[in-house]
Structure 1
Amino acid sequence: MYRNSILFITILGTIYSQSLMNSFGLGYTNTNFGAASVGNGSNYLTPSFSEGVSLGNPATWRNLDFTYIHTGYDGQQVTFENGSINQFSGLNRAQFIVPIKSKHAFGLSLTPYTFRTSELTTQSDTTEGQITNKTEGGINALTPSIGVKLSEHESLGISYSFLFGSSRLIKSMVLESVTYGQTNRLDHSGSSIDFYIQSDRFNKESFGLNLYGHIGMTIKPISVTQYKYYLYEDNDGSGNHNTSNISSYADFPYAGNVPPPDTLKIGETYSPYTMNFGFNYSAKQRWNIVGELGFVNNNYSDDYKKYSPLQDAISNVWHLQIGVNRFSGHLIRNWTDRFSYRSGLFSNRYTLDSSKKSIIENGFALGFGFIFGVTKNQIDFSYQVGYRSGLPEIDKETFSKFSVGLSLGDLWFVKRREL
């Protein structure tokens, strides 16, 4: 019988993120909407990019001065109590936003939705042998969005996300010095819709307060189709079922001599519902205090146990954030007006479905941005550091994230302003 003790989580270098959070359900949900939001620890609701604008909230896009093409890069590191260090780096999003005459806006983005990559090894209590479960891939989101000015004080944003992608669950078993391998491929598809509201109704000359709200729901719950491939002896130790049978260390049976994979339609397994509230209080000299409170109910079906390495999923998440921003000015009078500064504290509580235990995440964020060029191109740098406690078996892990965002501006459809 195998004991669920985690021996290690393998470093995959510069390709994949390695955290135990990736092993729950369909993976760790991405809440990164650019380096600016990373800089104050917010998710996406309140302004972080520029005054009155969040790249993740289409209700705020009409406040942009220019059309923007945005891309971002992340580098992450996770350290476990035993001293092992795992790293990740790669592009995190691509986005195109067009404000139209300060009244409307539309945009299109391509982002990671979940990260699934992890590697877990369990050791036998009774026999010589071990089992390694390795997951790769995740779900992506292609999201068109619009923003509309509803009234003098309110704006509405709507996003529709097409969710798609594939992942692999690779099981490796070492029994009596023989390594066996089996691969499962999972194809994912679904869709969701998000509604955003922004109001400056309470934004007075002596009391600058903006309020924000968000509700997200599933239109088509994420379905999973599983392809279960044939069990084989991994004689060459590659972790893949090779097609060649020439080498004396060829896999047995080789891939060209096995039946096609068994196909299983697992069905609708994941239909999250989200709700967020936020505020932005404008103080003197472009300083702003922001805060967010959010809740996510993931609504997993019991079928997740068929593809989750830990046989568990995150059932719900509570998010709390408070931060301070100082944005660059609309009119650039000197070089100091080109800088923006951000910082914040954030806390998340994840509740597990099967064990009902909670994982607590606390962290600190810091960042700055710099405007250059006539169309207010912007580059942002941000850093987060924090820890998670309550993780199964390993209990704690610390994490750090470095994020860079580049936004290039243009004048398409924008009401001409004085440059």
Structure 2
Amino acid sequence: MIKKIIVSICLLFSLAIFAQEGTSSPYSFYGIGDIKFKGTIENRSMGSLSVFPDSIHLNIQNPAQFASLKLTSFALGGTYANTKSKTETQEAKARRTSLDYMAIGIPVGKLGIGFGLIPYSSVGYKIGKTTYITNTNNDTIRSIYSKYNGIGGVNKVFLGFGYRLTKNINIGADLQYNFGTIETKDLQYQTDLQYGSRENNVSDLRGVNFDLGITYQTKVNAKQSFFGSLTYTPEATLTVGNTRNVEIVQLLSTSAVTVIERQNVPVADTKIKLPSKLSFGAGFGEVKKWLVGGEVTLLNNSVMSNRFNDIQGATFENAVRYSLGGFFIPNYNSYAKYYKRIVYRGGLRYENTGLVLQNKSINDFAANIGFGMPLSGTFTNINIGLEIGKRGTKYYNLVEENYINLSIGLSLSDKWFVKRKFD
């Protein structure tokens, strides 16, 4: 029965994933959009830390962690994001609900297999702007209304393997197929003219990349253990098929747009490099009690580019992310008091995103807390995470984004493929 439920959920969310808007940020216009995936809810609640192995929770940031699974695990997570964006003169609020990941991990002896679907990056913004043109007496002659819309992103389908090489060392690799479509529309309408213009751009992105990972775990004393983790992603390339058309439009009183004439404009197909990534971290603690750790992720983001050659105003630089976090379980064996079996998580994350606008680096800082709520009599957990953060700045004609993300996930683990002894 449980397998039928999982299959039904997978089908539902695989259809819904293509229609979602996972961001409301104008920064998502550049490159391949906002990089949304920063780990499962369990990892994100610890500042995106991926150092710790787990026998019943999926860790899809390092493929070597698949070898730590003892039970077949299904993981699903989504986020409700509330963002307040502001400049020096204006403010706006936006809300989005999106699927973060859907994955399954299967242990097979010393081998662990994982596969799933991840919405990796997201484009989603709606910006309206009115420019007033005045004469020498400062009287308004005309106004120009501009509207910018974007939607889409890049998704990943992955297949990964982890192998327990020794008692202390796991190794792993995964293969990822990237695909997606990004659509942007730029509308301009002048009040003293009957018609306006709209430029429509569509980019279809495709490409393959892979990750390599290794983990290390050893006892320091009778209770405490040390954990180490290393992940490397080589540089890869996305092919981008671009199309563009320009329309003469009429803006109706209902705000609907009627197309009067359309003309296709030839544009070159492009290639976008996905940067190489190196992530390494370490942790220390008592298994099933408490653990703390830190992680550093380096991205060679300077190789990134935009989808169209004529996009101006943005450059890219090498990026870095620092993560610090951990968890605490009062007593995972407690049956009398439920709150003692809850996993309490917390963490901090700081990163230079690698995007440079107005010669200013766009930085992102967030604080995280989370709770793992076990369901009695099962290995299933409902995981809740809260992230509060800030990205960018309101100065230098840029946008400051203050966000609160509430994430909820399901981690369901059970024994599959067990041969029945009795009918």
TM-score range, shorter chain: 0.7 to 0.9
Work out the CA distance in 2 between the residues paired with 1:377 and 1:46: 22
What residue is the counterpart of 1:113 in the other structure?
120
Which of 218, 228, 233 is the equivalent residue of 2:249?
Answer: 233
Q: Deviations over 1:114-163 (max 9, x none)?
A: 11112344555756314333211011000111111112211012111100
Matched, 1:325 2:324: no
Structure 1 residues 402 and 109: CA distance shift in structure 2, 3 A: same
Work out the CA distance in 2 between the residues paired with 1:109 and 1:190: 17
Using the TM superposition, give the Cα deviation of residue 15 of structure 1 relative to its aligned residue in structure 2, in angstroms. 4.3
Work out the CA distance in 1 between the residues paired with 2:53 and 2:404: 20
What residue is the counterpart of 1:3 in the other structure?
none
Q: Deviations over 1:70-121 (max 9, x none)?
A: 11110111112344211111222111111123x1101111011111112344
Higher mean alpha-carbon deviation, 26-35 vs 331-340, is at 331-340
Using the TM superposition, give the Cα deviation of residue 314 of structure 1 relative to its aligned residue in structure 2, in angstroms. 4.0
Which of 261, 267, 292 is the equivalent residue of 2:295?
Answer: 292
Which of 125, 134, 145 is the equivalent residue of 2:160?
Answer: 145
Work out the CA distance in 1 between the residues paired with 2:151 and 2:251: 22
What residue is the counterpart of 1:154 in the other structure?
169
Calculate the TM-score normalised by the size of structure 2.
0.81
- The answer (yes or no) to whether the contact 1:66–1:414 under 8 Å persists in 2 is no
Q: Deviations over 1:202-229 (max 9, x none)?
A: 644365211001111234x012111112
Residues 248-267 of structure 1 aligned to structure 2 (within 5 Å) = 250-253=258-261, 258=262, 261-262=264-265, 264-267=267-270
What residue is the counterpart of 1:46 in the other structure?
51
Work out the CA distance in 2 between the residues paired with 1:49 and 1:302: 37
Structure 1 residues 240 and 229: CA distance shift in structure 2, 3 A: farther
- The answer (yes or no) to whether the contact 1:266–1:303 under 8 Å persists in 2 is no
What residue is the counterpart of 1:20 in the other structure?
26
What residue is the counterpart of 1:214 in the other structure?
231
Residues 39-188 of structure 1 aligned to structure 2 (within 5 Å) = 39-42=45-48, 45-47=50-52, 54-81=59-86, 82-101=90-109, 103-121=110-128, 124=131, 126=133, 128-175=143-190, 176-177=192-193, 178-188=195-205
Identity %: 18
One-letter amino acid matched to 2:215: Q
Matched, 1:366 2:369: yes
Using the TM superposition, give the Cα deviation of residue 414 of structure 1 relative to its aligned residue in structure 2, in angstroms. 7.8
One-letter amino acid matched to 2:324: I
Work out the CA distance in 2 between the residues paired with 1:66 and 1:41: 25
Q: Secondary structure at the match of 1:152?
A: coil
Using the TM superposition, give the Cα deviation of residue 48 of structure 1 relative to its aligned residue in structure 2, in angstroms. 8.0
Using the TM superposition, give the Cα deviation of residue 251 of structure 1 relative to its aligned residue in structure 2, in angstroms. 2.6
Q: Secondary structure at the match of 1:62?
A: helix
- The answer (yes or no) to whether the contact 1:297–1:316 under 8 Å persists in 2 is yes
Higher mean alpha-carbon deviation, 32-41 vs 376-385, is at 32-41
One-letter amino acid matched to 1:194: D
Q: Secondary structure at the match of 1:31?
A: coil
Q: Structure 1: which 5+ residue stretches go unaligned?
A: 1-13, 242-249
Higher relative contact order (CA 8 A, sep 6+): 1
- The answer (yes or no) to whether the contact 1:119–1:134 under 8 Å persists in 2 is yes
Structure 1 residues 34 and 144: CA distance shift in structure 2, 3 A: same
Residues 293-312 of structure 1 aligned to structure 2 (within 5 Å) = 293-300=296-303, 304=307, 306=309, 311-312=313-314
Matched, 1:406 2:421: no
Residues 329-348 of structure 1 aligned to structure 2 (within 5 Å) = 333-334=335-336, 335-336=338-339, 338-348=341-351
Aligned CA RMSD, in angstroms, stands at 3.0
Higher mean alpha-carbon deviation, 183-192 vs 264-273, is at 264-273
Q: Secondary structure at the match of 2:45?
A: helix
Calculate the TM-score normalised by the size of structure 1.
0.82
What residue is the counterpart of 2:11 in the other structure?
none
